[in-house]
Amino acid sequence: MNDTQVIVVGAGPVGLTLSLALSDMGVRCILLERNEAPSGLPKMERCNARTMEIYRRLGIVDQIRAAGLPADCPMDVFVVTSLVEKPILRLPYGSVKDCQEDIAAHNDGTRTLEPYQLISQYTLEPLLKNIAENDPNVDVRFGCEFIRFEDNDDHVVAHFRHSDGSEDSCSADYLVGCDGARSPVRKQLGIEFSGPGEMLTMCQALFRCDDLFERIPIGKGRHYHVCDDQAGFVIVQDDTRHFTLHAVVDDEAEMPKLFEKIVAMPIEYETLYIGRWTQRLLVADRYGAGRVFIAGDSAHLVIPTGGLGMNTGVGDVIDLAWKLQGTLAGWGGEQLLASYEIERRQIGVRNVAASGRANAGRREWRAAWRPEIRDQTPEGEKVRANVAEIANREQRKTNEILGIEAGYRYVESPLISAEPGEGPDPNNPDYVPTTWPGFRLPHLWLADGSAIHDHLSKGYILLRFDNNREDMSALIDALKQLGAPLEIIAFDDAHAVEVYEGYELFLLRPDLHIVWRGNQPPPDPGRLCAIATGHQALESA
């Protein structure tokens, strides 16, 4: 008998989220992490809107918001020469509170249910770890370094090393490597990365300065891009007392002095960390083999422009978790787990490309820098105006990509009932709500003021707005015969039908992506249910 059902290697935000998502569906897992404790470094600093919707479904969104940036803090983005000189450009973005009010005021499907949340990785990881450690379905094991696995066809064995040097092993039905860019799991699988791997090496420094945020005279925000010849970039962390600086320097010892130069005010601060990192845009050629899968940075590496790294990983594991559950429960067909790579690798490719576009846009306005940019002369003003014009266009490719974050579609998935035509553009950076199969069901407020997403269960959902006019018994029976979990949810809401493009009937997956839509029962409900549960590939139909 196996020790557990799923082994998760790596307890960063992605691995921890997978563990919680599995537990949410009743799947037991062991979480192996080589470090004795969370890293304490701010490798990521923002959960995007879709990730926060996912955390809402996991029941932990309020805890994350309480731990993150206060709800009334603005999220503005600046292009500056220093923190005391007039900004070259200021892009205003609403606080969480502003965004929540905006979401509450709109009911046309154009908003996500949750806004983003600025929360530093060194805050998020311990929070998720604490939640996981109090979850009876999750066996959290820090100080356990993964060594290798054995895929024995009907189970997987993971070998690991305790911090005292002793070796041990555990067994499960499946193993998922969420173990980062240098993933030992991916390497043992023999999976290569494709894409530009060595682009630009930068230094990251973490500083503590308790009063700096309140003293910034040019305005409060979250990002201060410094227009210089060193790619300087100051990020406000979630408690507004810690700041990271990214820059190109010859010697790491230059970072504190550069921080002082950018701040341009007398400050007392503490340097907590300095290290180097390299920009990469890579996607794994495969997302797994046999009973072993990879997710997060193990499967794709992006440049932080756009905040698509950890957030893409969260999307990976939410897709994978319910497919593992369905396979373990016995109702999932062979295509169910096979679809993980089909669906998520295309999103990895898409998001890496979006990150690349955002990075290219940032490079474009930075290339307009000239030494005289700080001169109070006509030439200096001309340089500043040029930078502002380019940045006003190109910087938005980093900050205004809700379509990439929440508007992704699973194209040519074996689990989606395709419709004729190409469908809406899955690469649109702007979020355009649609019920085309493969997209996530758009958020909507119902007549009683509740969110439709909050009514939807963790299994398949037959969502009805037809007042039970149509006979859907064949579809219901077909899913029940396969043993798949199904809940039938009906609303009498004409406005919802209008927003949902005139459709009254939907079959939704556990991750809220749309399998099928219509106004009459499907012509072949058995085939539709076989597709939805991975028992029939579309190509063979």
Tens digits of residue pLDDT in 240-285: 999 999 999 999 999 999 999 999 999 999 999 999 999 999 999 9
Q: How confident is the model at residue 43 (pLDDT cuts 50, 70, 90)?
A: confident
Give me the CATH code for the 69-117+200-278+367-406 domain, please.
3.30.9.10
State which fold the 409-540 domain adopts.
Answer: Glutaredoxin (3.40.30)
Distances in whole angstroms, Cα of residue 245 to Cα of each of 226, 310, 332, 364, 540: 10, 20, 47, 20, 53
How distant is the alpha carbon of residue 89 from its chain centre?
28
135 CB-contact burial (10 Å; exposed 0-12 / middle 13-18 / buried 19+): middle
What is the distance between the alpha carbons of residues 314 and 329, in angstroms, rounded to a whole number?
Answer: 23
DSSP 8-state class, residue 4? -
For residues 412-434, average pLDDT: 94
Beta bridge partners, 270, equal 208
State pTM to two decimals.
0.97
The H or E element that residue 1 is part of is none
Domain limits of the chain? Answer: 6-68+119-195+282-353, 69-117+200-278+367-406, 409-540
- What is the residue type of 152? N
Q: Is the pLDDT of residue 541 over 50?
A: no
Q: How confident is the model at residue 482 (pLDDT cuts 50, 70, 90)?
A: very high
Lowest mean pLDDT segment, chosen from 190-199, 514-523, 532-541: 532-541
Torsion of CA 374, 277, 49, 430, to 10 degrees: 60
Distances in whole angstroms, Cα of residue 154 to Cα of each of 151, 173, 181, 535: 8, 7, 28, 20
8 A C-beta contact, residue 226 and residue 233: yes
Superfamily of domain 6-68+119-195+282-353 in CATH is FAD/NAD(P)-binding domain (3.50.50.60)
274 CB-contact burial (10 Å; exposed 0-12 / middle 13-18 / buried 19+): middle
Phi-psi region of 180 (alpha: psi -120 to 50; beta: other; left: phi over 0): left
Q: How confident is the model at residue 540 (pLDDT cuts 50, 70, 90)?
A: very low
What pLDDT, on the 0 to 100 scale, is given for residue 203? Answer: 96
Q: How confident is the model at residue 42 (pLDDT cuts 50, 70, 90)?
A: confident
Q: Is the pLDDT of residue 39 over 70?
A: yes
160 CB-contact burial (10 Å; exposed 0-12 / middle 13-18 / buried 19+): buried
User: Locate tokens 């010892």: which residue?
Assistant: 253
